[in-house]
Structure 1
Amino acid sequence: MSTAQHDPKLQARTFRRYKDGDHEWDSMHDKIFVGDTSHKCPTYVHKTPPCQGSCPSGEDVRGWLQIVRGIEKPPAGMSMQEYAFRRSTTANPFPSMMGRVCPAPCQTGCNRNDVDDFVGINAVEQYIGDTAIEQGFKFDPAPALSGKKVAIIGGGPAGLSAAYQLRRLGHASTIFEKLPELGGMFRYGIPGYRVPRDKLGAEIQRILDLGDIEVRCNTNIGQDITVEQLEQDYDAVLWAMGCWTGRDLFVDKFAETPNCVTAVDFLQAFNLGTMKYTAPRVVCVGGGDTSIDVVSVSRRIGTVANYHEKPEDAATGKLIHGEVAEKVPATVTLTTLFALDQMTAAEHEVQDALKEGVTILTQVMPKEIVFGADGRAIGLKVVECVMKGNLPQACEGGKETLIEADIIVSAIGQYGRFDGVEAWNNGKNLINHNAFYQVPGKEGHFAAGDIVRPHLLTTAIGQGAIAAETIHQYLNAREIQKRPKVDKHHFDLMRKLQEVGLEPKSFDTSKAEDMRGTSDMNYAVHNYEDRSKSTIVQSKELFLGHFKAEARHTRTEDVPTSEQVLGHFAERMNALAEADVIAEAKRCMSCGMCFECDNCVIFCPQDAVYRVPKKQATLGRYVATDYARCIGCHICADVCPTGYIEMGMGE
C-alpha cells in the first residue's frame, strides 16, 4: 500500500546482480562471446516507469519529477515550476488536489520500493499544484472552436476533466450539475481539511478560464431538462454523474431503520454546511477513506449537550442546523472487516483517526442491528470474522460485541441515482460502456467516472480524458483508435528536440543513397527506440546497486489529539519546502530513461560510449555509441541504473 508506514531506521538492502558461483558463462556459445566475434551492441530504449503505469490518469510522473530535480531543462523564459505544471496538467488538471488526496497507486508501483522506500510523488505534485496557484499559472490558450458542443452531465472530477480536454481539442461544452457548485466528490464527498476549498476553486476556475465551458448548476437531467432536449441541442452527451447513493449494510432492516444512513448522505450534508453537529454516539462500518472521513468529521463537529434531535434528519439534509455556541465530543466507533494494516484507507488517515479519538474495531463484521422499543437502532452487534476470498465469514464461536449507537453509518460502497433517467440504468445502478467509454447502442452518448465503475478520483479524471478523446474522434467522424497498452502521456523525444531546436531534418527517399551510417545523418535519431506505449520497466532491469539508501522527505501533518479535535477544521497536511521537494524528486530513479549519470561512459573499456556534443544534446539524447569501437561487452547495460540500455544492436 502506497502509504505504508515508513521505517525510520531505513536499513539499506544489499543488491547483487549475480549469485555466488555465477562466475562462469552458462554455455560454450557464451564462452566464445568475445570482442572479435561479438555482434550485440547497445541500443537506447525509452520505456515507461511503473509509477506512470500504475496511474489511472496516465500522468507522466517521471517527466515532471525530472523537471523538478533539474534533469530536464525548461524552454527559454520559463521557470522550472511552470514547466513542471504544464507537464503535469497535460494529463490531470488538478495537481494541488491530487497531491493531497490521491491514494497514490504510483507510489505503490514505484521501483524505489526495492531499494528503500517509494518516492514521495504526492508531495512533489502538491508543490507543483500549490505553486501554480500562488504564481497564477494559466493553461495555454485554447484553440479555435470546432463548432461542435458537448453536454456533460455532472461537474465532478470526470466531467471537469472531460470539459478541460475537450476544450483543448477545440470543442465547447456545457456542464450540467445538480448541486450548487462544481466539484462533485472533491467538494461534497471529502471534507475541507483534506481538500482546501480555495485551492479546489482555483483549479476549477482555471479550467473554466479556457472559455466556452458553460456551467449550469442546480440542474437535474431527466427533471429540469430531458435527454431528448440534450440530443437536439448538443452533438454528443457525456454521462459523468457520479454515484450519489450509498450502499446499505447487509443486515436485516437497515434500509427501513430511520437512524441508519449512508456515508454519501452524511458527508454531503456536512459539506453542504447543513449538518453542524451529530449524535452523541456514532458507529460507522467501512474501512476505506470514506469511512475515515465519516468518523473524523464526527469527531470534529461533535454533538450538543441535551441532544434531542433525530440525527438522521441532519445527516440526510431534512434538518438544517444553525450555528451552535457550545459543543461536546461525540463517541465515535469505526468497524472494519480487515486488520488495521490491511484497511483500504490510506495508512496515515487511519493513524490520524486513532489520534483524534476514534475507536477502531478490526476484523469484525456486522451481525445485527439492536432495536429499542420505538423501532429505532440503539446499537450494532458485530462478530469476529475472517475473509474468505472477497467475502467475510463469521468465526465459529467468534466473540460478539455490542456497540451502542444513536446513528449507524454505512460506508461500504455507492452506486448511481437515476431519478428521471431510469432507462440508462444497466440494472446494477451504473451505466454500461465499452473500452472507449461509449454507451453501447446509444449513438452519441458516452460515460465516464464513478457511474461506470466507482473507484478513485484519479480514475475518474483519466476516464474523462479518454472519453474526451473518443468524443473528439466521434465528432470528426473518425474511426475510434485503439488505445496504447500503456496509457497515456509519455515523454516525447521529438517534441523535446523541437523545443530546443534540434529536430531531425525531413528524410527524402528519392534522394537516399547508401543507408549505412545513419548515426552521422541529421534525419535520424541515433539508435533510439521508443517502447513507452508498450513496455513498463521493472526493477529487475535496473542496476539498483547504483542507488544509496536515502530516507524519504515526508510531509508533516497537524493532526489534533482527541482533546483538540473538536472544532478543528484546519488543513492537516503541510507542504514540503522547495528544497525538500527538489531533494525528494532527486530520489526518483528515472526508470526507463537516461538521467545522465555517466556510468556507461565511465565504465566502457573501449571508449565506445560517449556524450553527445553539448550543442546537440538534450534529455533522451545524452549518450551515443561509436559502433566501430564497440566490442559488445555489455558493461554499459550492466551499469545502467535505469534500464535504458539494452544489448540488441545487430540482432
Structure 2
Amino acid sequence: MSVTSDDLKKKPLTFRRYKDGETRNERKGANWIMDADHTHKCPEYVLSTPPCQGSCPAGEDIRGYLNIVRGIEKPPAGMPWQQYAFERITSANPFPSVMGRVCPAPCESGCNRNEVEDHVGINSVEHYVGEYGIANNLGFTKPEKNSGKKVALIGGGCASLSAAYHLTLKGHACTIFDDHAELGGMMRYGIPGFRTPREVLDAEIKRIIDLGVEVKLNCHIGRDVTMEQIEKEYDAVFMGLGAQSGRPLPVEGAEAPNCVTAMAFLKAFNDGRLQHVGKRVVVIGGGDTSIDVATVARRLGHITKVNENDRPEHVIAGQVAHDVAQVSAREGAEVVLISRATMDKMNANKHEIDHALAEGIDIRGGVTPVAVIVGADGRATALRVAEFDMVKNETVIRPGTEVDIAADLIVSAIGQAVDFTGLETFNNGNGLIKSDKNYQIPGKPGFFVGGDVIKPHLLTTAIGHGAIAADGIDRYLAGAEQEKRPKVDVHHFDLLRKLEEKGLQPTEYDHKQVWGTDSAKFSVHNFEDRSLKYVIPSDELFLGHFPFVPRHVRNMTMLDAEQALGNFEDRLDVLSEKEVIDEAKRCMSCGLCFECDNCVVYCPQIAVFKVKRDVNTTGRYVDTDYSRCIGCHICADVCPTGYIKMGMGD
C-alpha cells in the first residue's frame, strides 16, 4: 500500500522500536524473544578458538592444519597439502617433528572430541607433517627486507631458537650464544636420543640457522663475553638461559659422590660419555625427567669389570673414562624409581610410565627420601625412604615405615636450576628471571626472556615464549609501545588472510552512507572473530553429529627388561598418509565451519545457501538470505561446530 504526503502529516512513518522517553523494554518475560516458530534473532557466523589451540603453549593453529590435512582448507594451486600444513604448523612452532614426538600434548587433553569417545591424535598428525618436512627438505623463506637491527640471544635451547626464527622472519639479524658444543638445550642435553633422534633435531635446527642466524658456541655470556659488551653491540637481548642445572637431594648424606642430579646424568649420557651406571640405580622424581633417567639407566646397564676411575659418578663429574664398556660383558641394571606421588598421580606421561614398567623398572610411589646411607669409603650404598603424611604443608614421617633401597648410583630428578654465573643481577632471588606479559624484563628496556628461566615447564611452553617475546622485541626495535596481549594468545585461522589468498579481500571503504552492509564489498558480512577472547566449550557443539570413530594410534615399540638393554632406537612410528588423513577427519573443527551442509539441509525456509564456488572459501562456505530467514534457529541447533550463533536482529 502506498503512503501519501497527507498520510505522513497525520502520523509520522517510523521504524523506531521505542517511543520518546522510553528507556527499557516493558514487555513481560523473555517470551518476546521467541514466538512459536520464529524469533527476533538471526544467524551470524562466529569464529571461536577451539580448546586444543587454547591449551597449546606454543599457540599452534591446530584446527587450521587439521582442516588442511583432511582437505577442508585447500592449499594454493600446485602446493601439496603436506607442505601447506607444514607452513601452518611452523608459523607458530619450527619444531614439528620433535614436538610431535615428545610434547605431552595438553592440546589432546583439552580436545572436545573427548566428550564423544577419544581425543584427536594431534601429536600424530604433527609428527607426520614434521617428518614430511624433513624428508622433502622443506625450509623457511628468508625475509625480503632487513631492519638493520641486531638481537643477541643468550642460550641455544628451544626458547632462543624459536625467538631467533620469528625475529629473523621479521627482518632482524640474530646471534645465538651458547656455552655448549651444539645447539638444542634440553632437546639435546635433557632428553635421550631414543625420544628425540639426533638427525631429526639437527634437521629442524638447521632450517632455522639456514635463515642466516649467527651462532657462537662454547661461549658463556658473563664469563667469556661480558653483558656490557653485548649491550654495546646489540639493539636488544633475549635471555633464554634455560635451567640445565639439577637440584640435589635435600637430605643427609646427599653430598656423596655417587649422588648426582638428573641434569648432570642426562648431559653425560647425551654427550656420549656415560656408558654404564652400575648394578643398582635409584632415581628420585616422578616427572618425565625421572622416567628418562630410569629408562636410560635400564638401557646402559652395568659392566662386569669396572675400574675405580670408570665409575659413573666420575664420568658424570666430567672425568674421561676408559673404553672398558666396549670390552666387558654388559648386564642389566636394577632400576628403582621412587616418587612422593602415588603412581596414578605422578606428573610423568602415563604411556611413559607404562613403558618404564614394561622395561622392568620398579616404580614405588607414596614415599619420600629420608637419608642417603653412606659407606666407609664415603660413597652412597643405599637410599632410605619412608611413607609420610602432609600436615599443614609439612612432611611428617610415619614411624616404622623406613626402608633402605640399595644403590650404586642415586640420581635426583626433583627439579631444575638456572646457572647465573656472571649474570647474577638478573636473578630475581628465587633462581629465575621475572618478566611481564610481553616477556620483557621489568626495569631493563630492550631485555626480554623466555623458557625455563622464567619457570621450568614444557619445551612447547618455551617455544611459545620465544614467539611472544619476538613480537615484543620487534615492537621495541620499531620504537612502538608494547601492546596488551590477547586473552587467548594463539595463532588462529584468519578469514581475511584466506580471502586475500583467493583474491576475495574486501574493497576499500568509500565512507558513503549505506543502508545495511549485507551486499557491500568493503566488509565481511555477518561475521565476527572472537578467537582472541573466546574458547568454545563442548556444550556449544552439536555432538550428536559425530559418530564413534576409534583413534588411529601410532605404533610404539614396547620393550621388556632384556630387550631394553643397549636399545637406543627410536620407539615411535609415524602414521601412514591415509591414517593421518583419517585421523584429521575426526577433528570436530570447533568454532569454524567444516562444510557439513547441515544448516543448508535443515533450514525450513531455504534461507541458508551455499556461497557460489567462485567466491567461497574456508569460513565462507554458507550464507543467509535474510529476506527468507524467520529466525527459527534450526541452523544453529544443527551446526556441529558451534560456528552459527543466533544474534539479536533489529
Band the TM-score falls in, shorter-chain normalisation: over 0.9
Residue type of the partner of 2:372? I
CA contact (8 A) 1:274 1:321 kept: no
Distance 2:322 2:604 in 1: 77
Q: Which amino acid aligns with 2:476?
A: Y
Q: CA deviation at 1:386?
A: 5.0
State the partner residue of 1:605.
Answer: 604
Q: In structure 2, what is the equivalent of residue 479 of structure 1?
A: 481
CA positional deviation for 1:425: 1.7
Instruction: Quote the residue 1:140 is aligned against.
Output: 141
The separation in 2 between residues aligned to 1:285 and 1:535, in whole angstroms, is 40
Structure 2 equivalent of residue 87 of structure 1? 88
Give the Cα separation in 1 of the matches to 2:458 and 2:394. Answer: 23
CA distance in 1, matches of 2:633, 2:642: 13
* Map of 2:239 onto structure 1: 239
1:361 maps onto 2:364 in alignment: yes
Query: What's the counterpart of residue 535 of structure 2?
Result: 536
User: 1:43·1:649 contact (CA, 8 Å) conserved in 2?
Assistant: no
- Specify the alignment match of 1:282 in structure 2: 281
Distance apart, 1:149 and its partner CA: 0.5
- Supply the AA of the counterpart residue of 1:120: G
Contact kept in structure 2, 1:247 and 1:415, CA below 8 Å: yes
Distance 1:388 1:618 in 2: 60
Question: Contact between 1:337 and 1:392, CA under 8 Å: does it hold in 2?
Answer: no
For residue 9 of structure 1, what is the aligned residue in structure 2? none
The answer to whether the 8 A contact 2:303-2:330 is kept is yes
CA contact (8 A) 1:526 1:624 kept: no
Answer whether contact 1:385 1:398 (CA < 8 A) is retained: no
Q: Letter of the aligned partner of 2:488 in structure 1?
A: V
Q: CA deviation digits over 1:492-536, x for unaligned, max 9?
A: 001101111111211110xx24322x2222222220100000100
2:115, 2:317 → 1: CA distance?
47
Residue pairs, 1:180-195, within 5 angstroms: 180-195=181-196
1:296 counterpart residue number: 295
The residue aligned with 1:204 is 205
Residue by residue over 1:419-445, the C-alpha shift from the partner in whole angstroms, topping out at 9 and shown as x without a partner, is 122222222121122221111222321
For the structure 1 residues 470 and 623, does the alpha-carbon distance in structure 2 shift closer, same or farther, using more than 3 Å as the test?
same
Q: Distance in 1 between matches of 2:37 and 2:489?
A: 42
Q: Which runs of 5 or more residues in structure 2 are unaligned?
A: 1-27
Residue 35 of structure 2 aligns to a residue whose secondary structure is: coil
Find runs of 4+ consecutive structure 1 residues off by over 6 angstroms: none
Equivalent pairs counted in the alignment come to: 619
Aligned residue for 2:229?
229
Which residue in 2 is equivalent to 1:11? none
**In the aligned structure 2, how far is the partner of 1:83 from the partner of 1:387?**
52
**CA deviation after TM superposition for structure 1 residue 128, in Å:** 0.6
Q: CA deviation at 1:237?
A: 1.1
SS in 2 for 1:624: strand
Distance apart, 1:71 and its partner CA: 0.6
Deviation at 1:387, TM superposition (A): 5.8
Cα deviation, 1:575-626, whole Å, max 9, x if unaligned, reads 1111110111111000000101111111111111111111111100011111
Q: Quick one: structure 1 residues 34 and 206, their matched pair in 2 at CA, closer, same or farther if it must change by over 3 Å? A: same
Paired residues of 2:253 and 2:380 also in contact (CA < 8 A): no
1:398 CA drift (Å): 6.5
Q: In the superposition, relative to structure 1, how do residues 546 and 261 fare at CA in structure 2: closer, same or farther (>3 Å)?
A: same
TM-score in terms of structure 2 length = 0.93
Deviation of 1:35 after TM superposition, in Å, equals: 6.1
Tell me if structure 2 keeps the 8 A contact 1:143–1:169.
no
Change (3 A) 1:238 1:401: same
Aligned residue for 1:380? 383
Q: CA deviation at 1:388?
A: 6.6
Partners of 2:33 and 2:40 within 8 A in 1: no
Task: Give the Å deviation of 1:139.
Answer: 1.1
- Equivalents in 1 of 2:202, 2:312: separation in Å? 31
Q: What code does the residue aligned with 1:156 have?
A: G
Query: 2:269 touches 2:275 (CA, 8 Å); kept in 1?
Result: yes
Residue among 438, 441, 446 paired with 1:439 = 441
Partner of 1:162: 163
8 A Cα contact 2:33 2:41, kept in partner = no
| Per-residue deviation, residues 111-149 of structure 1 (Å, max 9, x unmatched) | 111111111100000001000110111112223211110
The C-alpha deviation readout for 1:254-288, integer Å capped at 9, x for no partner, is 2x222111000000000011111112111000111
Out of 501, 504, 507, the position equivalent to 1:505 is: 507
Deviation at 1:395, TM superposition (A): 6.0
Q: 1:459 aligns with which of 458, 461, 477?
A: 461
Match of 1:20 in 2: none
**1:336: Cα distance to partner?**
1.0
CA deviations 1:473-499 (Å, max 9, x no partner) are: 111111011111111211000110111
- Distance in 2 between the 1:38 and 1:97 partners? 51
Aligned-pair Cα RMSD in Å: 1.7
Q: Does 1:33 align with 2:21?
A: no
Give 1:16's aligned residue.
none
Q: Tell me, what secondary structure is at the counterpart of 2:331? A: coil
Runs of 5+ consecutive residues of structure 1 not aligned to the other structure: 1-26
Contact 2:43 2:645 in 1 (8 A): yes
User: Residue 360 of structure 1: SS of its match in structure 2?
Assistant: strand
Partner amino acid, structure 2, of 1:515: W
Q: Who is 2:74 aligned against? A: 73
**Percent of aligned pairs with the same residue?**
56
Give the SS at the match of 1:107.
helix
Aligned to 2:114: 113
Whether 2:176 is the aligned partner of 1:175: answer: yes
- Tell me which residue corresponds to 2:564: 565
* Contact 1:56 1:459 survives alignment (8 Å): yes
Residue 576 of structure 1 aligns to a residue in which SS?
coil
Write out aligned runs for 1:545-624 (5 A). 545-624=544-623
| CA displacement at 1:384 relative to structure 2 | 2.1
Change in CA separation of 1:409 and 1:37 when aligned onto 2, cut-off 3 Å: closer
Name the SS for the 1:564 alignment partner. Answer: helix
Residue 43 of structure 2: SS of its match in structure 1? strand
Q: Distance in 1 between matches of 2:59 and 2:524?
A: 26
- Using the size of structure 1 for normalisation, the TM-score is 0.92
